[in-house]
Each structure stands twice: as C-alpha cells, then as structure tokens.
Structure 1
Amino acid sequence: MSADVKADNQPYDDINVTPMLDLAYVLLVVFIILTTASVQGVKVRSPETTAAENLAKPQTRAITITADGQMFLDAYPVSLEQLQSRLADYKAANPALPVVLKGDAAAQYEKVMQVLEVTKKLDITEIGLVTRRAAP
C-alpha cells in the first residue's frame, strides 16, 4: 500500500503538450482567417447592414471607392480602364475570381454602378459588398 502512495506522488518526467499545440493551431487558424478577411489599404466609412458577415476567400481582389470617387484595386489607385484591364488579367488566371467591393457610404452611386458593369462584362459572378454591422 505504501508503494502505491509513493508512485502517485512521483513528479512527472514529461509534460503533455498536446492541449497547448491544439490551442496554438486554433489561434493560427483564427489569425489566418482574420487577416484574409480584412482587406488592408484605403480607409472608407462603410455603410451599415444587419446582414450576416461574409469572409473573403483567398486571392480575393478588393475594389475600393472613396467618398470623393477615387477607385483603388488592392490599395493601388486605378482608373476605370485600368480596373477593367487588371481584373481581366486576374480573371484569366482564376476563372472563379472573387471580388470584394468596398465603397464609402458617401461614394457616388454612379461609380459603384460603373464598377459593377465592369465586373459583369468580365463575367465575374462572385462579388461581395463590404458593410459594417449596424448597432443593435
């Protein structure tokens, strides 16, 4: 009986790191999702919505329209012609090219429609609109 008690009081020779690795993998996945979901670049004040949030897919291209009507493709300023040319190149490389349209709430509606017409001409069907979640 005393031998059993002594065996229970022995210090561990190794540490089980499996739970720590599980946590590290979860944190890594969360970090990857958050960094790919947030499109860095030009800051705009997005309109609010109560719709569910959509995560951006890898290789997603971001088109940003500022309040003063400037257009950016992945944080680089472009004209409408440059936008169409670059999107056509991306579409040729990836036929299922996903695009995210991030427009300021005060952006000119005509600019948004011009961008949507370009995506339609190029047969880009995966288009997401970036919004902010409305306060409850």
Structure 2
Amino acid sequence: MAGDVREDNQPYDDINVTPMLDLAYVLLVVFIILTTASVQGIKVESPVTSAAENLAKPQTRAITVTRQGDVFLDAYPVDMAQLETRLAQFKALNPALPVVLKGDAAAQYDKVMQALEICKKLGITEVGLVTKRAQ
C-alpha cells in the first residue's frame, strides 16, 4: 500500500501541450479571418468637394471605377453586365438598396456614367458619390 501512495504523488515527467497548441491555432485562424475580412474595397484617388460628408448606411454596396477604367462591385471585379445582374439581386433582397459610387478623379467618365445608368435602370435611388473633403 505504501508503494501505491508514493506512485500517485510522483511529479509528471512531461506536460501535455496539445490543448495549448489547439488554442494557439484557433486564435491564429480567427486573427487571419478578421484581418482579411476588414480589407474591403479598392483604393482610388477620390475627387475633392466641399459638400458635407455623407455616412454610408448598412448593407451599402460600393461600385468602384479605377483610373484604368476597371469596375468593381465591393471588392470584386465585374463588367457592366455582371454589375447589373448583381445589383438586381441585391435590389430584390433590399428594395431601398443604398449604393456608393467611388470613381477615381482621373477615371473614364463614360464608365462612371454607365454605372449610374445601371443604378437608374434598376430603380436604385439612393446613390452617393464618394469624394474627399476640400481643405
């Protein structure tokens, strides 16, 4: 009996680190997902205006026209037909769909007008133009 008591009180020779590694991997995955999810939209050089700043509403979709004339819906490249199809899908889910149009100051005016015409055709009335505030 004395031998049994002594074996129960012996210190562990090694520590099981598997639960700690599992936690570290979960935290790493969460960090990666949150970091990549926060990156949204395409960076463009917005034109300057002295108008008051409008705040984007939830569920807002962003149409971006780059300097080269590329068109993006949120952060995804689209052509005009895809833009119309996807906006129509979003409009079906939310009849009061707000859209913001971010056009580069040196972008092709024709592409910006095509995007506005698509919004008009779909009956999207809440369209905001993104600009920089004048100093």
TM-score by length of 2: 0.70
User: Displacement, 1:79?
Assistant: 0.3
User: Displacement, 1:110?
Assistant: 0.4
Q: Could you say which residue in structure 1 is the equivalent of 2:34?
A: none
RMSD of aligned alpha carbons? 1.0
Q: For 2:80 and 2:59, how far apart are their aligned partners in 1?
A: 21
Q: 2:41·2:62 contact (CA, 8 Å) conserved in 1?
A: no
Q: Could you say which residue in structure 2 is the equivalent of 1:46?
A: 46
Q: Which runs of 5+ in 1 are unaligned?
A: 1-38
Q: Could you say which residue in structure 1 is the equivalent of 2:17?
A: none
1:40 alignment partner AA: Q
Q: For 2:106 and 2:45, how far apart are their aligned partners in 1?
A: 8
Q: For 2:50 and 2:124, how far apart are their aligned partners in 1?
A: 25
Q: Could you say which residue in structure 2 is the equivalent of 1:60?
A: 60
CA deviations over 1:6-27 (Å, ceiling 9, x no partner): xxxxxxxxxxxxxxxxxxxxxx
Number of residue-to-residue matches in the alignment: 97
1:119 alignment partner AA: C
User: Displacement, 1:40?
Assistant: 3.0
1:95 alignment partner AA: P
User: Displacement, 1:126?
Assistant: 0.1
1:75 alignment partner AA: A
The higher radius of gyration belongs to 2
What are the residue-to-residue correspondences of 1:1-136 with 2, within 5 Å?
Answer: 40-135=40-135
Q: For 2:105 and 2:42, how far apart are their aligned partners in 1?
A: 14
CA deviations over 1:4-61 (Å, ceiling 9, x no partner): xxxxxxxxxxxxxxxxxxxxxxxxxxxxxxxxxxx93210000000000000000000
User: Displacement, 1:134?
Assistant: 1.0
Moved over 2 A (4+): none
Q: For 2:124 and 2:41, how far apart are their aligned partners in 1?
A: 22
Q: For 2:110 and 2:74, how far apart are their aligned partners in 1?
A: 20
Q: Which runs of 5+ in 2 are unaligned?
A: 1-38
> SS of the residue aligned with 2:119?
helix
CA deviations over 1:77-104 (Å, ceiling 9, x no partner): 0000000000000000000000000000
Q: Could you say which residue in structure 2 is the equivalent of 1:28?
A: none
